[in-house]
Chains A and B, each alone.
Chain A
């Protein structure tokens, strides 16, 4: 029997993997993938808590919203990355530190 705990554990694992990718990757696209993992960890929590604790479909609906937003975000982020690549010639976040104080 799959309980709420299972979902939460999977979600936590997803979150940690995503965080690891975001923190360690030297490639902006890989960081973007990490962010997607984190978003999906949140999605899983929404759906799981909605089913086991709250009831109804609000959680699932929020998850669908998040998916749509994630798609939009990926499109914008990829466009920005392309632009950065054309300007700077790399997409490593370490090389692009224009905003440094």
Chain B
């Protein structure tokens, strides 16, 4: 593979972004009274398809060749980006190891599918052509570039650049419908909340740089080997960097932004807030684990944060009725799983779950988009204002939308961990890692216990979603006020066009076992063979954690093997229990959830444990209070001082004037009036120059400057 190919893969989406943002509206925007043309999305789709094709041809096959990581520049030492005096320099480069390769494949494939889906989904808004169609795709392209940059970076610095670019795109796309106040608020909330994590990450990077002199993963690892950073400072650096990962991956306590981010268009939720950007936090944590930056305390914290978030978010998903919000909480919960995997040292399991989750969660989100699209059209036809995302207005959609139903069902089985799905393989890997860790360290039995509990809850709320949306009677649970119109919408419901269903089918195929582990539907397959941590654990504080981990050098010494067998049995069991409860409550409706829905606990869940209110009370309002207080200081004290000085001068001047007034009138006035009149005459001429047009002034200034430089240059010659 030549360096040029990697560069094309990386920069093709960026080029598409440039074309789209500079010329998109002029070239592709619909004319008056015209439907949106798919041409408006052609350039970004082409850009991402180029990346996908090159990845499939050149990058993916090289996974199976036992070679060193591919680096650019080729010597593997990076190039100096900023080279300052005194030996300070920042070196950067690109790197493809097997983790990067497989993620490159996942990102380009999922991005391509979502680009295609969005080309159909975004065409209309409320029955009219979407006015910002071309801009939407420009943002998607920029996002794709940022994610690719993050994946192929060999250092924390360019990773951080991609990281922040994704944050920007996330902000722009959540607020894409900025006419809605709720979308504006959600985009700001997402930006501000992740910013808290980003600042922590930046401080962590600064600590690493001051101690190790480089931000490249290889150099960081070498520095850790040499023992240049240890003890409390190392723990602090690790925890700060993880703060960034927790913010980006919406883990507790920075989880509140992700459900609100569902205000964005559904393809955005699928791409950014399910498959790629939120997984970047896990990717960062995995890279830090690989570079041995995380010591035992940091890993322990991460494992508990992940396990707790997995259960915590799943419990909120129980009572949500907006289908996208259920999926959002399920994303938070699944990301918690991945964090748990990193925390217990199961590097491969974390990466594997990140990959399979991207497929089935993107498929679920796009499926919900397909449903919302149909509901929107149907309700629009009958002029109903009922909520197109509320699953109480749905039901029985499997007959209307067979392809959407089938793909959605496959992905639900995958996320619930049913056998013969990709989710079964990766979730088992995560749970087996946690269980092996719990068996080695019985004090931490809570970690695998929470993991299995979350698996049960996942199966329950996901099948609640499936039964509520695709089974039963259409509109049977709509509220009194809307029911009549909602029922009339039924004949107008239709399956989505091919440009939307083909991506669904491709992603659903990725949610089955065959692609990942064709030979043995019980193992990690080729991911387990190729994506392993190539560094053997060293004793930099992480050793005691690694002993229990799945990928340590003694991976096959029995504990992990036993844990894996137990896990397979247990996880099938808990998934079946979760499914059974959902079937009884929401499928067959032989049990009633009414009493639970009335309880205080359910109400607390509906309010998401009150975290939004808590943060509002603790941070937002206090910040406003500080702002108001400093405003008051400005108004009262500073202004008062200035006014006081002013009025003192005024009164002093008044008495002085009374004395001098007489002389003034008699002697000075005559002279002054003469001067005044002539000045006024001159002023009348020159006032024309003071047009009040700033740009005229600037033109004079720039012309004068140019003339001056010209004269000086002449003089020097």
Seen from chain A, the residues whose Cβ lies within 8 Å of a Cβ on chain B are: 19, 22-24, 31, 55-57, 60, 93-94, 97-101
The answer to whether B695 and A57 touch across the interface, beta carbons within 8 angstroms, is no
**With contacts A22-B698, A97-B693 known, what are 16 further pairs, Cβ within 8 A?**
A23-B698, A23-B699, A23-B702, A24-B695, A31-B695, A56-B85, A57-B84, A57-B85, A57-B86, A57-B88, A93-B694, A99-B690, A100-B692, A101-B683, A101-B687, A101-B690
Tell me, yes or no, whether B691 is within 8 Å of chain A by CB.
yes
Distance from A92 Cβ to chain B, minimum over Cβ atoms (Å): 10
B687 nearest in chain A by CB position: A101
Distance from B80 Cβ to chain A, minimum over Cβ atoms (Å): 12
Residues of A with C-beta under 8 A to B85: 55-57
The answer to whether B693 and A93 touch across the interface, beta carbons within 8 angstroms, is yes
Q: Which residues, 690 to 709 on B, are CB-close (under 8 Å) to A?
A: 690-695, 698-699, 702
Residues of B with C-beta under 8 A to A57: 84-86, 88
A57 to B699 alpha-carbon distance, docked (Å): 34
Residues of B with C-beta under 8 A to A22: 695, 698
Distance from B689 Cβ to chain A, minimum over Cβ atoms (Å): 8
B684 nearest in chain A by CB position: A101
Interface centre among B683, B690, B691, B692 (most CB of A within 10 A): B692
A97 to B702 alpha-carbon distance, docked (Å): 21
Residues of B with C-beta under 8 A to A55: 85
Distance from B11 Cβ to chain A, minimum over Cβ atoms (Å): 20
Distance from B56 Cβ to chain A, minimum over Cβ atoms (Å): 36
Cross-chain pair count, CB within 8 angstroms: 35
Residues of B with C-beta under 8 A to A101: 683, 687, 690, 692
A23 to B485 alpha-carbon distance, docked (Å): 57
Residues of A with C-beta under 8 A to B690: 99-101
Residues of A with C-beta under 8 A to B695: 22-24, 31, 93-94
The answer to whether A97 and B691 touch across the interface, beta carbons within 8 angstroms, is yes
Residues of B with C-beta under 8 A to A99: 690, 692
Residues of B with C-beta under 8 A to A100: 690-692
Residues of A with C-beta under 8 A to B84: 57, 60
Distance from B67 Cβ to chain A, minimum over Cβ atoms (Å): 32
A99 to B85 alpha-carbon distance, docked (Å): 48
Of the candidates B693, B694, B702, the one whose C-beta lies within 8 Å of that of A19 is B702
Distance from A25 Cβ to chain B, minimum over Cβ atoms (Å): 8
20 inter-chain pairs at a CB distance below 8 angstroms, sorted by A residue, are A19-B702, A22-B698, A23-B695, A23-B698, A31-B694, A31-B695, A56-B85, A57-B84, A57-B86, A60-B84, A93-B694, A93-B695, A94-B695, A97-B692, A97-B693, A98-B692, A99-B692, A100-B690, A100-B692, A101-B690
Q: Which residues, 83 to 132 on B, are CB-close (under 8 Å) to A?
A: 84-86, 88
Residues of A with C-beta under 8 A to B683: 101
A101 to B687 alpha-carbon distance, docked (Å): 6
Distance from A14 Cβ to chain B, minimum over Cβ atoms (Å): 15
Distance from A74 Cβ to chain B, minimum over Cβ atoms (Å): 16
Residues of B with C-beta under 8 A to A23: 695, 698-699, 702
Seen from chain B, the residues whose Cβ lies within 8 Å of a Cβ on chain A are: 84-86, 88, 683, 687, 690-695, 698-699, 702
Residues of A with C-beta under 8 A to B702: 19, 23
A19 to B701 alpha-carbon distance, docked (Å): 11
A15 to B324 alpha-carbon distance, docked (Å): 47
Of the candidates A31, A60, A94, the one whose C-beta lies within 8 Å of that of B693 is A94
Residues of B with C-beta under 8 A to A93: 693-695
A23 to B692 alpha-carbon distance, docked (Å): 14
Residues of A with C-beta under 8 A to B692: 97-101
A93 to B697 alpha-carbon distance, docked (Å): 12
A98 nearest in chain B by CB position: B692
A31 to B694 alpha-carbon distance, docked (Å): 11
Distance from A54 Cβ to chain B, minimum over Cβ atoms (Å): 10
B695 nearest in chain A by CB position: A23
Residues of A with C-beta under 8 A to B699: 23
A60 to B694 alpha-carbon distance, docked (Å): 32
A94 to B693 alpha-carbon distance, docked (Å): 6
A23 to B88 alpha-carbon distance, docked (Å): 40
B683 nearest in chain A by CB position: A101
Residues of B with C-beta under 8 A to A98: 692
A14 to B88 alpha-carbon distance, docked (Å): 28
Residues of A with C-beta under 8 A to B86: 57
Distance from A16 Cβ to chain B, minimum over Cβ atoms (Å): 10
Distance from B37 Cβ to chain A, minimum over Cβ atoms (Å): 29
A91 to B85 alpha-carbon distance, docked (Å): 45
Residues of A with C-beta under 8 A to B687: 101
Distance from A38 Cβ to chain B, minimum over Cβ atoms (Å): 10
A99 nearest in chain B by CB position: B692
A24 to B702 alpha-carbon distance, docked (Å): 13
B83 nearest in chain A by CB position: A51
Interface centre among A23, A24, A56 (most CB of B within 10 A): A23
B694 nearest in chain A by CB position: A93
Interface centre among A22, A31, A57, A101 (most CB of B within 10 A): A101
A93 nearest in chain B by CB position: B694
Distance from B41 Cβ to chain A, minimum over Cβ atoms (Å): 27
A22 to B691 alpha-carbon distance, docked (Å): 17
Residues of A with C-beta under 8 A to B88: 57
A31 to B691 alpha-carbon distance, docked (Å): 18
Distance from B184 Cβ to chain A, minimum over Cβ atoms (Å): 15
A60 to B133 alpha-carbon distance, docked (Å): 41
A55 to B86 alpha-carbon distance, docked (Å): 10
A91 to B404 alpha-carbon distance, docked (Å): 49
B688 nearest in chain A by CB position: A101
A96 to B371 alpha-carbon distance, docked (Å): 50
5 tightest A-B contacts by CB? A100-B692, A97-B692, A101-B690, A101-B687, A93-B694
Residues of B with C-beta under 8 A to A94: 693, 695
Distance from B172 Cβ to chain A, minimum over Cβ atoms (Å): 17
Residues of B with C-beta under 8 A to A97: 691-693
Distance from A5 Cβ to chain B, minimum over Cβ atoms (Å): 16
A74 to B691 alpha-carbon distance, docked (Å): 25
B706 nearest in chain A by CB position: A19
Distance from B568 Cβ to chain A, minimum over Cβ atoms (Å): 55
Distance from A86 Cβ to chain B, minimum over Cβ atoms (Å): 16
Interface centre among B690, B691, B694, B699 (most CB of A within 10 A): B694
Interface centre among B85, B687, B690, B702 (most CB of A within 10 A): B85
B702 nearest in chain A by CB position: A19
A52 to B88 alpha-carbon distance, docked (Å): 17
A50 to B693 alpha-carbon distance, docked (Å): 37
Distance from B292 Cβ to chain A, minimum over Cβ atoms (Å): 32
Distance from A4 Cβ to chain B, minimum over Cβ atoms (Å): 15
A22 to B88 alpha-carbon distance, docked (Å): 37
A100 nearest in chain B by CB position: B692
Distance from A19 Cβ to chain B, minimum over Cβ atoms (Å): 6
A101 to B699 alpha-carbon distance, docked (Å): 18
A99 to B689 alpha-carbon distance, docked (Å): 12
Distance from A100 Cβ to chain B, minimum over Cβ atoms (Å): 3
Distance from A63 Cβ to chain B, minimum over Cβ atoms (Å): 11
A22 to B692 alpha-carbon distance, docked (Å): 15
A101 to B683 alpha-carbon distance, docked (Å): 9
A74 to B510 alpha-carbon distance, docked (Å): 47
A94 to B694 alpha-carbon distance, docked (Å): 8
Residues of B with C-beta under 8 A to A19: 702
B705 nearest in chain A by CB position: A19
A26 nearest in chain B by CB position: B695
A64 to B343 alpha-carbon distance, docked (Å): 38
B82 nearest in chain A by CB position: A60
